[in-house]
Structure 1
Amino acid sequence: MISIPFYIMLAARFYSVFISARTEKKIKEKGAIEFGRLNTLILTICHFLYYGACITEGLNKGALVKDDAVSWTGLTLYGLAISTLYYVIYQIRNIWTLKLIIAPKKIHIINKSFLFRYFRHPNYYLTIIPELIGIALLFHAWYSLFIGFSIYLIPLLIRIIQEERIMKFMFDDYK
């Protein structure tokens, strides 16, 4: 049944929120500064609304119990996104949060590994975007995908622009 792997991955996704909160507390104690609070709030609201819309749309269609190629493609994409999320967390574990928080230079080291060198913002492009597409496919939530995803992209692009500007301003070795 497709719902069991989804619930496991959903639990893993929610656990990332706890990882973020723990990291946030630690780095703020060391002098980290949060930027873009309003946009973070908007992104958080959009994330919950998007999930809610996809799940509601899907439940109305009976999609969670469907065992078809679209649902399995969505579940696979969702699973790859969650796996990549945990790899990103592993790569930048001492500074990774859901918020736009910049740690002091002595703590905030620019990651230059393969993933970060070839994908400027892997947390957004390789985790969030595939996660959102995956959950919409899983639930056959076409309205949510086309309307909700388009709306979600606005604060996400604002976040990426904010992060780029702040990182370039704060770190000389951020190119």
Structure 2
Amino acid sequence: MSPILIVIFLAAAAARIASVVVSKRHERQLRKQGAVEYGALNSALLALAHTVFYFAGLGEGWIRQAQFDAVSMTGLAIFVAAMLMLVWIVGLLGDIWTVKIMIAPNHPISRHMLFRVIRHPNYFLNILPELIGYALIFHAYLTLAIGLPVYLVILAIRIVQEEKAMRDLFRGTGAA
């Protein structure tokens, strides 16, 4: 496997670890404000699926002896765009962004255009393109063909849980 792919894996893993560190900091602040977590098992399954996807993609790339080529470059462009979306979304949501469903009393709702135009932009503009781009970087087509549908099932459950939590919290306020 091309050494640059190892560097990309380490950078991708570091970016995801950094996002978890930010999430944990926000989670602590939210819990101090009385936040409640919804869908804890689903959050754990998403974290596991994300981790397995990363290592499966790396492993498949290793087995295929993937080289950094036009497919990898396309995947890297998609991956970088997805990470930039994550940075933007975290910036927009600020201290309420976490990798979990955490809702505090007096939880603010983002009125930014991005959230009005695209429901769940973190999932559709960050996570899904991230996984697709990542698989392309490593030519991990089996990981993509098997891992993405599994991830989508878990993510669909997550979206339903998040929608229900927001609906229950904001019912009657006109906010959701």
Q: 1:10 offset after TM fit, Å?
A: 3.5
Q: Which of these residues, 48, 52, 56, is aligned with residue 49 of structure 1?
A: 52
Distance 1:83 1:6, change over 3 A: farther
Give the fraction of aligned pairs with identical amino acids, expressed as a percent: 44
Matched with 2:23 is 20
Report the residue type matching 1:72 in the other structure: M
- Report the Cα distance in structure 2 between the residues aligned to 1:13 and 1:70, rounded to whole angstroms: 22
Secondary structure in 1 matching 2:155: helix
- Report the Cα distance in structure 1 between the residues aligned to 2:23 and 2:16, rounded to whole angstroms: 11
Report the residue type matching 2:47 in the other structure: T
Distance 1:124 1:174, change over 3 A: farther
Matches within 5 A, 1:146-165: 146-165=145-164
Structure 1: 5+ residue runs without aligned partners?
none
Matches within 5 A, 1:73-152: 73-105=74-106, 108-152=107-151
Assess if the C-alpha contact under 8 Å between 1:110 and 1:173 holds in 2.
no
- Report the Cα distance in structure 1 between the residues aligned to 2:86 and 2:98, rounded to whole angstroms: 11
When the two structures are superposed, what TM-score results if normalisation uses the length of structure 2?
0.91
Assess if the C-alpha contact under 8 Å between 2:74 and 2:137 holds in 1.
yes
* RMSD over equivalenced CA pairs, Å: 1.4
- Report the Cα distance in structure 2 between the residues aligned to 1:161 and 1:153, rounded to whole angstroms: 12
Structure 2: 5+ residue runs without aligned partners?
none
Assess if the C-alpha contact under 8 Å between 2:9 and 2:58 holds in 1.
no
- Report the Cα distance in structure 2 between the residues aligned to 1:13 and 1:161, rounded to whole angstroms: 24
Distance 1:54 1:76, change over 3 A: same
- Report the Cα distance in structure 2 between the residues aligned to 1:5 and 1:35, rounded to whole angstroms: 33
Q: 1:173 offset after TM fit, Å?
A: 3.3
Assess if the C-alpha contact under 8 Å between 1:136 and 1:142 holds in 2.
yes
Q: 1:6 offset after TM fit, Å?
A: 5.2
Q: 1:137 offset after TM fit, Å?
A: 0.5
Assess if the C-alpha contact under 8 Å between 1:13 and 1:82 holds in 2.
no
Matched with 2:168 is 169
Report the residue type matching 1:91 in the other structure: L
Instruction: Report how many aligned residue pairs link the two structures.
Output: 171
Assess if the C-alpha contact under 8 Å between 1:9 and 1:79 holds in 2.
no
When the two structures are superposed, what TM-score results if normalisation uses the length of structure 1?
0.92
